[in-house]
Amino acid sequence: TPRAPTLHCSAAGVSQVTVRDALNQALDEELERDERVFLLGEEVAQYDGAYKISRGLWKKYGDKRVIDTPISEMGFTGIAVGAAMAGLRPVCEFMTFNFSMQAIDQVINSAAKTCYMSAGSIAVPIVFRGPNGASAGVAAQHSQCFAAWYGHCPGLKVVSPWSSEDAKGLLKASIRDDNPVVMLENELLYGVPFEMSEQAQSKDFVVPIGKAKIERQGTHVTLVSHSRPVGHCLEAAAILAKEGVECEVINLRTIRPMDIETVEASVVKTNHLVTVEGGWPQFGVGAEICARIMEGSAFNYLDAPAVRVTGADVPMPYAKILEDNCIPQVKDIIFAVKKTLNI
């Protein structure tokens, strides 16, 4: 049977649930809710998933609903896109988004463009999901962030969860959406427990696509991030608070469509902006946020230039000390905030 949350309750109605278990819950609930939903990918069935996200689902739903595929992203992604065009609702797992490049033609040319090019007559309700961004010690072949790549393409929705609540709510919303959705998870977050309310654990819970969340209120500087770096921003904010600097931390949750209104409202309040991401700087998510702020009315409220904290502009090295220097750390965020505030 699908894995139940195993960690203890921390308050009335609130449980500690790992991101892995939250994703498993979401898949189980949506497979049960809608017989058109099915999961396919490498090792998702008999092996319970490379990261155990699909644990127990094959035993519960069988070969037609949870399907092991050959190691051929181009092939099984094409099958999934065709199934979506024919009225099913596939969840297509990439063992890592780095290998989604093998299927870029199917994701962009087949899935993303079809609704528009058919004048809305052909929907492609499909979710492409799996781990994205830096893992640990797996070098350039496995540690790249594709948020900017997929966020660039009209016709796709792109979500990037941080917490267990994000993961469950966004996956359920993505499966129910009639558009192709790219869901960029993070392997290093799978085993991390987060508090989930009773409401978030209900079968009706969804997180709306296109809506950011303010994780921490603040008055001096706005920190905007997505995926794992949201946690780094909260750590940096806690340290800076001891020095009298109050950071407002925004968890984007969705890359496309981007909730720039929430960011603008925060910048109007704090007058300073720092973006944080694990991806490369050139044409990145932070670059887009900075451009949108500059082009809008919130620009008039900035008291200093916006600053980006990003991954290093190199393919990810294998050596741990080099890897650590390529990924934004808490100290990098603190340095950027102090630079922005001129302290």
Angle at 11 between CA 188 and CA 207, to 5 degrees: 55
How far apart CA 8 and CA 2 sit, in angstroms, is: 18
Helix (H/G/I), strand (E/B), else coil: 309: strand
How many Å apart are CA 143 and CA 242, to the nearest integer?
33
Residue 295 token pair: 């082009």
246 in catalytic set: no
Looking at 30, 42, 93, 142, which residue is catalytic?
142
Token code pair at residue 167: 């993961």
Q: Is 152 a catalytic residue?
A: no
Alpha-carbon distance of 254 to 174, in angstroms, equals 11
Q: Which helix (H) or strand (E) holds 255?
A: strand 254-256
Q: Is 82 exposed, middle or buried (0-12, 13-18, 19+ CB in 10 A)?
A: middle
For residues 276 and 47, give the distance between their C-alpha atoms in angstroms, rounded to a whole number: 35
Give dist(CA 71, CA 28) in Å, integer.
24
Three-state DSSP class for 45? Answer: coil
Q: Helices 164-176 and 19-33: crossing angle, nearest 10°? A: 20
Q: Are 66 and 32 in contact (CB under 8 A)?
A: no
| Dihedral over Cα of 257, 83, 92, 205: its sign | positive
Closest CA to 245 of 339, 160, 162: 339
Which member of 73, 93, 264, 277 is catalytic? 73
Q: Which residues are known to be catalytic? A: 73, 142
